[in-house]
């Protein structure tokens, strides 16, 4: 069976998507490291905890929300714990499980880092788009996610949620 080669329009779109996928994480990482002394993934972990009830999640749920393996998350959690940004403790409902909770210092870090991060996201993504393009981007990503995440394992991350700010 012959491959279904990309036509010129598909190839141009593909190469642009790859360029964005390669460049955007580095731009976001640079801003967070410079301004908040966090990696993008560390910020993501803290942000997911900041949005959880009682700012606490089981490590397995946190790994799922951040699309990480438990070993990767455990390594990052250990670093964040050493900095006083989160704490881990046995889950009261299942002593075999471990919970992670954002500390008061971790909350302060998220609150301090969020404005710069949102500004970087806005500068690198949304300021370049018209409102109609934002909707098109959302629809295109939804279509891609239906193929990449057919069982919805990351749906809690990308399904439409009301806007929230870390000032609560």
Q: Is residue 109 part of a domain?
A: yes
pLDDT in tens, 12-36: 999 999 999 999 999 999 999 999 9
H or E stretch covering 125? none
Does residue 157 register a pLDDT over 80?
Answer: no
DSSP conformation class of 85? S
* pTM for this model (two decimals): 0.87
Does residue 166 register a pLDDT over 70?
Answer: no
Find all residues with CB under 8 Å of 145, minimum gap 6, and list them.
Answer: 154, 158
How many domains does one find in the chain?
Answer: 1
Alpha-carbon distance of 97 to 58, in angstroms, equals 7
DSSP conformation class of 98? E
Q: Is residue 153 part of a domain?
A: no
pLDDT in tens, 73-99: 999 999 999 999 999 999 998 888 999
Here the CATH number for the domain that contains residue 58 is 1.10.10.10
Q: Is the dihedral of CA 8, 10, 13, 19 positive or negative?
A: negative
Q: Specify the residue for token string 């279904």.
A: 4
Q: Is residue 43 part of a domain?
A: yes
pLDDT of residue 163: 57
Tell me the backbone φ, ψ of residue 159, rounded to 5 degrees: -70, 145
pLDDT in tens, 36-55: 999 999 999 999 999 999 99
Q: Is residue 5 part of a domain?
A: no
Q: What is the mean pLDDT of residues 117-137?
A: 97
Give residue 103's domain range: 18-113
């Amino acid at each position: 069976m012959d491959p279904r080669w990309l036509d010129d329009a598909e190839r141009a779109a593909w190469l642009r998507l790859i360029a964005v996928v390669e460049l955007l994480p580095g731009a976001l990482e640079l801003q967070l490291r410079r301004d908040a002394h966090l990696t993008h993934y560390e910020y993501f972990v803290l942000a997911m905890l900041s949005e959880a009830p009682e700012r606490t999640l089981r490590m397995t749920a946190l790994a799922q929300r951040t699309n990480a393996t438990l070993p990767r998350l455990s390594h990052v959690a250990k670093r964040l714990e050493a900095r006083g940004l989160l704490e881990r403790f046995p889950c009261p409902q299942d002593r075999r499980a471990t919970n992670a909770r954002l500390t008061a210092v971790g909350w302060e870090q998220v609150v301090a880092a969020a404005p710069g991060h949102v500004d970087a996201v806005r500068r690198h993504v949304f300021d370049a788009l018209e409102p109609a393009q934002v909707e098109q981007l959302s629809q295109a990503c939804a279509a891609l996610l239906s193929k990449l995440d057919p069982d919805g394992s990351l749906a809690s991350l990308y399904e439409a949620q009301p806007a929230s700010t870390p000032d609560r």
